[in-house]
Amino acid sequence: MPTWLALPEPVHHALLVLAPLLPLLLALLGAHAASARWLVRTAPLATLPAWLLVFAGPAERAWPDLLLGLVLGIDLPRSAWLVLTLLLWTCATWFGVTYMAHDEHRRRYQFFLLGAMSGNIGLILARDPITFFSFFALMSLMSYGLVIHDGRPGSLRAGRVYLGMALLGEMLQFAALGLLFFEPAAAAMSGSGLTIDQLANRDLSASTIGLLLAGFGVKAGLLGLHMWLPMAHPVAPTPASAVLSGSMIKAGLIGWMTFLPLGSAAYPNLGASVAVLGVTGALMAALAGLLQTHPKAVLAYSSVSQMGLMISAVGLGLIDPATGKLTLWIVLLYALHHGIAKCLLFLSVGLRTVRPMRGFETTLFWSGTIFAAIALIGAPFTSGAVAKSHLKYLVKDSVWIGAPTLGLFLTAAAAGTTILMFRYLATLRRLQPDPHHTAPARILLPWLVLLLATLAATPAAAGWWAKRGGLPPAPMLDALTLLLPLLAGAVLYALITRALRLDTRTEPVIPPGDLVAWLHHAWARIQPTRPAAASVAPPAPPSFSAHPALARLARLEGTLSRWATGLAAIALAVLLFAAMAWWTGS
Amino acid sequence: MIPDTLVPLAVLLTSFITGIAILLLGEDRVRLRTVLNLAGAVLKLALVMLMLWGVFHGHAYQTRIPFLPGMDLVLRADGMTILFASLSAVLWLLTTVYAIGYLEGAPHRRRFFAYFSFCVTATMGVSLAGNLVTFFLFYEVLTLTTFPLVVHRGTEKSMKAGAVYLAYTLGGSALVLVGMLWLYTIAGPFDFTETGVLGDLFAQHRIALTVIFFLLMLGFGVKAAVFPFHAWLPAAMVAPAPVSALLHAVAVVKAGAFGMVRVVYDVYGISLCDEEALLPAFMVLAAITILYGSLRALAQDDFKKRLAFSTVSQVSYILLGIAMFGPMGTIGGLVHLVHQGIMKITMFFCAGNVAETLHLHKISELKGVGRRLPLTMGAFTVAALGMIGVPPLAGFVSKWHLGLGAIESGHPWILAVLAASSLLNAAYFLPILRTVWFDQPDTPWPAPEGGCRLEASWWLLVPPLATALLTILVGLLGGSVLSPIHWAYLVVGREY
């Protein structure tokens, strides 16, 4: 990691703390009404210390008095994650300054957005497990406020599912991190002061790996744990959706990269299941996404699909240590490509609703959006082509017996992405602009920055990381291989759209959140029917607190206190006393 | 400077004399009473801090008073004492401040504050007790002095709750008394000793000492609200908010939990308990209580009642930590003694503020209260997140060590209990936070009385804000010498 900006050591270390802390401080300041107005405008500047950190070279510092031994640091791979994260956060919050300017609750939005930003930056810099876990939790909890921002019933339901699954993920991570401390060869008995390097990246037991995979898999949208994602991402305000789907979703991957022993040990069975889960998720999400009617829901499923590809790459890395070393960099490259393109596509949805466009602007908007879409598909000469070539290289390089099949499925998933992007463009075209909003032209600036990044960032990073980091020199796939999924996807899209009459539907065939939504319907069906409420109040959401089992517990409790348990205890005591007297007497 | 032998006694006297003086003063001497209360609390805090410094540097503080032939009353400060005593001293000061604000203009304040002081005297006695007799004596005084506080309002409901409280706690005390006397017939007089005093005796009196162990633990378990002896705690909710705060955070439930700590570590010795397999039953009991309390909390709409069932659940974390054999579990249990106190007292202060300023008692009425009481609800939010175990707050530090303890002692199923409990905590605390911050109130809130610029008076605001800050700090400064977790490490180093 080169140093472009030489800083005195104390300043450098202060920046390590300030990078995650400044957004959090601004979030808290914003809760105070008087300072809220100028804070809403300056939110993108909260990323400034973290940006400086990117250019200031490697650093690490421990503060043993803080937390259970706080260690923060930055090295080359982390600075790469940080660049991706900061780029998206800066553009999305910048976009939000204009986009959310007339929102009734923009102070609240600002609070949760900055809080989540703090968590996202902090977890990249964390070098000890407790700090990582803390920032991860901060990000997850703050995002809840973004998901339920508009307060509609659908958002509240999405928020409940999101929070439930996020907390489940936290619990699994908690157990996994606990087990890490007791892995063989763990350092001496001490609950604190151990860095991630001392704990992880060693030969871990399968149960620890499993818990790590599931715990961070919730955030990464691992198949079976992904249901919250298509529910929560679309309902958040658009700038928040963009960072949720572009950046925060990657925190799960960062967790895996941080704790899994990629490149130092082999886990053939676990790795194979992860690879299969990943690619299955990629295909199924493509199908489910096709059946959506809102462009943001289509994009959310596309995120699940794209994450599936990255997850299967992690699976390959677990199978074989030789591949594992490459996995980190290839996944990083893919995440960069996907994050930027996805963020831009989300902002396009926002632009479409608040910015009435005509003439050159319309041309620019559609060509930019379509370019990002075909980049995501992986057409030749786009960032997708670079990322996909590296992914294919990883598959070819793998010793796993299933790798060739996986390669085929990856191509199928690319066709799935094509279908999704067509669907996205179709739904975006049908989206009606919001007549109440006419955003000024400056709202286009962050979008343009992202467009430039879509063009240049991934190829530039690939060249650079190949030279400085550990990215393998993957040969570019030929145009035919890249175009095949595009053509196949286009044909399939035309056929399916015709068959299912998708053009005329206003309700999604599969509700966002698939499994959870179905479970919800099933649950509603087996519930005893309640008498219809007389008022027009919306039906109460199914709640734990009204469950009959809890009422039964309450009755038991009543019995307990009626029995005057205390008196019974005294009687027991007297009996025991008699027994004791007899005992000691004899 | 006070000689080391008198410091423990002085700690007791600061609040005892305050109580007597308040009784002697007239009901209407408000200002002098306030000064006395605060002076007593500050003085006690200073003395406890002195002891803390001393114990850290290896001083021995001990007061020994002849009581019965062969039985002395012993007051002394060891590591565990400091943990409990500094918690009590800090929280007593804050609760006194809060109670002065809360009861402003209410009748019978003389009686209230006098018993309040006696109650804290007893709590301090429990923490300083150097042997089982002394412990039991103060433990009983605590029961008797909290009764007038529980029934303070004098309504029929509160009298009933007081009766339930007495029935349960006296029943529990009876068990402890039997166990204690029986133990003395076998082991003779003894002081609390690190790593235990029984040693070889256990092999000779295996059955008797096993029965005694269960008598003592279940007896103390009544006050610690262990299932199925917990029903008095939610009933005692009728007490005024400062009393509930003290009952739940420091005085009564903690005295029970502290009793169990003393029995396991300083009477039987943790190694003996482990060898003789005395602990697994209590681990299961703690797990049941943790889940049961959480499930019951889910169904409560009454604000204070939900908090009460949450206490039932949370106090058993301490028992869980005690019942696990291994330093990490012990650390988790001991530190939760402090952490649970800080967090739960914040919540009761906040519930009290809501009741006092807006006269709301039900969770379903709290829509949008955050806008009217932002500081109060901010403090509540911190405490609730801490209870759920969000890192790096106080509750997380406890749960983290309990989790490590579970793995260390070879009971990974405890991890599942901790996870389930955390999810349940989230399920009953997070809806409160959502309704408070996100929902719109049905009707606009009345303006603060008397044109007050703040949401409530300073007396009512400072205590919850201070404890909320502590909830953050004990986690944030977890690695520093001043943190409770550091003390727990120190204490546990002497027990294993």
Q: Is the pLDDT of residue A542 over 80?
A: no
Amino acid code (one letter) for A414: A
A36 touches chain B (CB under 8 A): no
Report CB contact under 8 Å: B296, A31. no
> Confidence class of residue A540 from pLDDT cuts 50, 70 and 90?
very low
Among A467, A473, A240, CA closest to A349:
A240
Question: Which of B298, B426, B479 minimises the CB distance to A68?
Answer: B479
Report the pLDDT value the prediction gives residue A72, as an integer from 0 to 100. 93
CA B413-B415-B420 angle, to 5 degrees, is 100
A491 touches chain B (CB under 8 A): no
> Confidence class of residue A527 from pLDDT cuts 50, 70 and 90?
low
Report CB contact under 8 Å: B397, A68. yes
Closest-CA distance of chain B to residue A560, Å? 7
Average confidence score pLDDT of chain A: 86
Please give the average per-residue pLDDT across A388-410, as a whole number.
90
Report CB contact under 8 Å: A560, B480. no
Question: Which residue in chain B has the smallest CA separation from A164?
Answer: B423
CA-to-CA dists, residue A384 to A290, A295, A395, A468, B248, angstroms: 20, 20, 16, 21, 59
Question: What percent of chain A is modeled with pLDDT above 90?
Answer: 54
B321 touches chain A (CB under 8 A): no
Q: How many whole angstroms separate alpha carbon A390 and alpha carbon B408?
A: 43
Longest dimension (CA), chain A: 107
**Which of B312, B330, B393, B415 is the mutation pick for testing A, counting most A CBs within 10 A?**
B415
Report CB contact under 8 Å: B211, A192. no
Among A177, A129, A404, A398, CA closest to A266:
A398
Question: Which of A560, A569, A580 minimises the CB distance to B182?
Answer: A580
Please give the average per-residue pLDDT across A494-514, as a whole number.
79
Report the pLDDT value the prediction gives residue A189, as an integer from 0 to 100. 43
Report CB contact under 8 Å: A134, B392. yes
Among A285, A214, A290, CA closest to A252:
A214
Q: Is the pLDDT of residue A374 over 70?
A: yes
Q: Is the pLDDT of residue A532 over 50?
A: no
> Confidence class of residue A188 from pLDDT cuts 50, 70 and 90?
very low
Q: Is the pLDDT of residue B210 over 60?
A: yes
Question: Which residue in chain A has the smallest CA separation from B332?
Answer: A191
Question: Which residue in chain B has the smallest CA separation from A551?
Answer: B299
Please give the average per-residue pLDDT across A205-229, as a whole number.
92
Q: Which 8-state DSSP code applies to residue A477?
A: P
Tokens of A375: 């980049």
Q: What is the pLDDT of residues A61-120, one digit of tens each?
A: 988 888 888 999 999 999 999 999 999 999 999 999 999 988 888 888 999 999 999 999
Report the pLDDT value the prediction gives residue A182, as an integer from 0 to 100. 80
ipTM greater than 0.90, yes or no? yes
Determine which helix (DSSP H) or strand (DSSP E) holds A168, and give its type and residue range. helix A153-180
Report CB contact under 8 Å: A573, B185. no
More confidently predicted of B366 and A577: B366
Q: Which of residues 469-488 of B touch A (CB under 8 A)?
A: 475-480, 485
Among B98, B57, B54, B93, CA closest to B76:
B54
Please give the average per-residue pLDDT across A298-307, as a whole number.
95
Tokens of B487: 């003390």
Please give the average per-residue pLDDT across B213-229, as a whole number.
91
Which backbone phi and psi does A71 adopt, to 5 degrees?
Answer: -130, 125
Report the pLDDT value the prediction gives residue A508, as an integer from 0 to 100. 77
Q: What is the pLDDT of residues A447-476, one digit of tens each?
A: 999 999 999 999 999 999 988 888 888 888
Tokens of A368: 């930019």
Question: Which of A65, A141, A569 minimises the CB distance to B480?
Answer: A65
- DSSP readout, A248-263? ITHHHHHHHHHHS-TT
Report the pLDDT value the prediction gives residue A541, as an integer from 0 to 100. 47
Q: Is the dihedral of CA B115, B117, B123, B126 positive or negative?
A: negative
* Segments of B148-219 assigned E as strands: none
Report CB contact under 8 Å: A133, B427. no
pTM for this model (two decimals) = 0.91
Q: Is the pLDDT of residue A23 over 90?
A: yes
Question: Which of B231, B300, B423 minimises the CB distance to A171?
Answer: B423
Question: Are the beta carbons of B346 and B464 closer than 8 angstroms?
Answer: yes
Report the pLDDT value the prediction gives residue B117, as an integer from 0 to 100. 92
Question: Which of B211, B390, B478 minimises the CB distance to A137?
Answer: B390
Which backbone phi and psi does A198 adopt, to 5 degrees?
Answer: -75, -30
- Chain B residue numbers with beta carbons less than 8 Å from the beta carbon of A535 are none
Report CB contact under 8 Å: A566, B292. no
Q: How many whole angstroms separate alpha carbon B344 and alpha carbon B332?
A: 17
Average confidence score pLDDT of chain B: 90
Q: What is the pLDDT of residues B232-242, one digit of tens each?
A: 888 888 888 89
Q: What is the pLDDT of residues B407-463, one digit of tens each?
A: 988 898 999 999 999 999 999 999 999 999 988 888 877 766 655 567 788 899 999
Question: Which of A65, A191, A550 minimises the CB distance to B477?
Answer: A65
Q: What is the pLDDT of residues A247-292, one digit of tens each?
A: 999 999 999 998 998 888 889 999 999 999 999 999 999 999 998 8
- Chain A residue numbers with beta carbons less than 8 Å from the beta carbon of B396 are 134
More confidently predicted of B449 and A572: A572
A503 touches chain B (CB under 8 A): no
Please give the average per-residue pLDDT across A133-138, as a whole number.
95
- Chain B residue numbers with beta carbons less than 8 Å from the beta carbon of A544 are 298-299, 427
Report the pLDDT value the prediction gives residue A525, as an integer from 0 to 100. 66
Please give the average per-residue pLDDT across B272-300, as a whole number.
92
**How many contacts (CB atoms, under 8 Å) link A and B?**
163
Q: Which residues contact A526 (CB under 8 A, 6 or more apart)?
A: none
Question: Which residue in chain A has the smallest CA separation from B231?
Answer: A561
Question: Which of A171, A569, A584 minimises the CB distance to B171?
Answer: A569
Report CB contact under 8 Å: B422, A189. no
> Confidence class of residue A504 from pLDDT cuts 50, 70 and 90?
confident
Determine which helix (DSSP H) or strand (DSSP E) holds B149, and give its type and residue range. helix B132-150
Question: Which of A65, A193, A557 minimises the CB distance to B296?
Answer: A557
Report the pLDDT value the prediction gives residue B482, as an integer from 0 to 100. 82
A567 touches chain B (CB under 8 A): yes
Q: Which residues contact B73 (CB under 8 A, 6 or more apart)?
A: B64, B65, B66, B67, B133, B134, B137
Closest-CA distance of chain A to residue B349, Å? 22
Report the pLDDT value the prediction gives residue A388, as an integer from 0 to 100. 92
B291 touches chain A (CB under 8 A): no
Question: Which of A31, A168, A573 minimises the CB distance to B175?
Answer: A573
> Confidence class of residue B346 from pLDDT cuts 50, 70 and 90?
very high
